[in-house]
Chain A
Amino acid sequence: MNEARLYLLQRLSAMILAPFVLVHLGLVIYAVRGGLSAAEILSRTQGSLFWMLFYGLFVVAVAVHAPIGLRNVLREWTPWRGQGLDWSLTAFACLLLVLGLRAVAAVVL
C-alpha cells in the first residue's frame, strides 16, 4: 500500500475516532457517576444493534489508525524500516482488531 493511501486511511479513521472517543468518554463518565453495575450495563448492551455497530466501528477505526501512526513514530525515532516493520504493524493491527471485536462481542452478544 502506498504512503498516500495510508495517509488517507489514517485521516479517515481519525475523523471517525474524534466523535466516537467523545461519546465513549461521556458513556464511561455516565456509567461510573451514575453507579451502574456490570449487570445493568450488560442488560443495556446485550442484543443492542446500536452498541454493536458503534463499538464495532470504533474497534475497526482504532485497528486502522493506531498501527499507521505507530509506523510513522517508529520510522522517525528508530532506524527500523522496510517489510519487517510493515508486517509487524500489520500483525499489530490484526491483534487490535481481534482483541477489540472479542470485547465488543462479549458485551453485545
Chain B
Amino acid sequence: MTPHKELEVDIWRGAEDGHFHRFRVPYRDNQTVLDVVTWVQRHREPGLAYRFACRVGMCGSCAMAVNGRPRWTCRTHVSKVSRDGALTIAPLRNLPKIKDLVTDMTGFFEKWQKAGGRHRGTASRHDPPARVPPDSAPRRAADAGVECINCAVCYAACDVVSWMPEYLGPAALNRTWTLLNDERYDERQALLTAVSVAGGCHSCHTHGSCAEHCPVGINPTLAIAGLKRATLTGHLPGGGP
C-alpha cells in the first residue's frame, strides 16, 4: 500500500441511532486498528467508548467491525486493511450497541449457558485427575475448538444470528461440541437436548462465515455439524453415558 501521511477514519458514535464521525489520524508504519482508536480517544475525542484489555490477542474484548468485517482490532494492522488510507470502524454486528464501539454482550454470554456451556464434571476435587489420551479422537475434536476466547467475532459474522435472534450462534455451539467431546463431562446427553431447541444447532446454514472470520482459526461450522450428527444418531463421541 502507498503510505499516506494521514488516515481518514470513520468511527461509529452513539448507540443504535448513531452515525459515523470522521477523524484524521496520523499514519504510522506499524499501527493496529486499536492504536488508531486509542489515538482518537487520546487526542481528538476523550468521550469515545471502546473496549480493550490485553492488546495481544488473548482477552477477546477489542473485536469491532473494521471495513465491515469483524476483527480483533489489536491484531489487525492498518496497512493490511485500510483502503487508500481510509478505515471504517463500527461496533460488532448482531449485538445491541451501548455507546460508540461498545456492544452489550449479555445475550451472547447467556446463549453459552443456554447451550450447556458450563462444565459439569464426573469427579470431585478429591478424585485423581482424569487421564485423557491426547491422541484419542474426542480429545482431538475438543482440542480443535477449545482455544475460543469469547470475542464474538464469529457471532457478528453469522448471518443466521442476524436473521434469528434466538439462534445460539457459533461460539456457544462450538463450546457445547468441545464439552460433548470431554469424557469428564457428566451430562452429555443433556447437551444434545440443550442444542436441539428452536434456534439450536439445526438452524445453522453451514455458510462457514464463523470459520472464515475466527481469529484463532477455529471452525465452529465443523463443530455444529458434529452436534447435528450427534443429535441424530444419539451417539456420544468416545461413548459413555
Q: Which A residues fall within an 8 A CB radius of B?
A: 2-4, 6-8, 72, 75-77, 81
Contact = CB atoms under 8 A, between A and B. Distances in A.
B203 interface: yes
B202 A6 contact: yes
A4 B198 contact: no
A78 to B, nearest CB: 10
Contact of B198 (A8, A77, A81): A81
B164 A76 contact: yes
Nearest to B163: A76
Interface string B191-202: 011001110101
Given A75-B198, A76-B164, 4 more contacts: A4-B231, A8-B232, A75-B164, A77-B163
Contacts of B192: 4
Provide the main secondary structure of the chain B interface.
helix
Given A8-B232, A72-B203, A3 B163 contact: no
A72 B160 CA distance: 11
A24 to B, nearest CB: 27
A3 B200 contact: yes
B202 A4 contact: yes
